[in-house]
Amino acid sequence: MSGSSDTTARIIEEICRARAKSSSVYASPDIVSGYDFWKTYKYSNVDDSIKDCWFWQIGYWIIEDVFTTVEKMNAGSSCIFSSPVKRVERVGFLAPDALLGVGAGVGGGLRVAQDRPKYVTKPEEQTTESFTGRISNESMDVVHFSMVVVLSTKAIVPFMRELCSVKEHSFRGFTGQEPAKAFKHNQITILESRVKPVVSLSVDNQYYRYGAESVAEVEMVCEYIFNKQGYSAIKPESIKGPVVKTGE
């Protein structure tokens, strides 16, 4: 019986190590907000559909910057063991604590349904207490988002610096038909961060292999700023209104 258990353990270990060697970061669509929303989406009316599409487009711009950061940090790495960013556990629009214990029940379903992009229009709508004090106004739209990642402890500060750094994007006009032009944007501020030790034998980590270096789980709540003038040409009229609308 003991021999059989040892063999099973060795097989699991080999499978886990092979997986770690075949990718530069652990990540999947299920950990990114928005995928489940569209899987079960049901059309109701034009106005709600326009609102849903607009706010999830905002969400995807934010998510893209997160994964651009991961890609930049892991540039040149061929496997998890050598990557500074080991795992992306979650990217969404609720504070990490708001999703603790989420399951299939009514309460869990409600929290997941609320995990969507929205404009912060007043202080009580902030995901965390913001030292910037920014809320949406006549010149900018403000969105809060959160993420949980597993990093090499040496990469924590560099990751935060890269996340908040200037990023490049290609713009082909609002129709997508114009010649591509390179632009830069810098829209992220980290409002809150927490660093936790990674327990390799825990249920959440038992099938992940991060390598020999010290790693930590980092939770962050961030602020993303949109210059209204920069995207007003494509912003739906129903969202522009005199009162800033939210994604709820």
CATH at residue 175: 3.30.70.60
pLDDT of res. 95: 82
pTM above 0.85, yes or no: yes
pLDDT of res. 112: 61
CA angle 157, 161, 163 (to 5 degrees): 115
> Is 248 part of any domain?
no
Count of the separate structural domains present in the chain: 1
pLDDT of res. 102: 47
- Tokens encoding 153: 């402890």
pLDDT of res. 203: 84
> Is 245 part of any domain?
no
pLDDT of res. 92: 94
CB atoms within 10 A of CB 42: 4
Within the chain, which residues score under 70 in pLDDT?
1-3, 98-113, 241-248
**Full domain range(s) for residue 120:** 2-240
**Helix residue ranges per DSSP H, the chain:** 2-21, 35-39, 46-73, 106-114, 156-163, 228-231, 237-240
Q: What CA–CA distance (Å, rounded) separates 100 from 82?
A: 30
Non-local CB neighbours of 57 within 8 Å, separated by 6+ positions: none
> Is 114 part of any domain?
yes
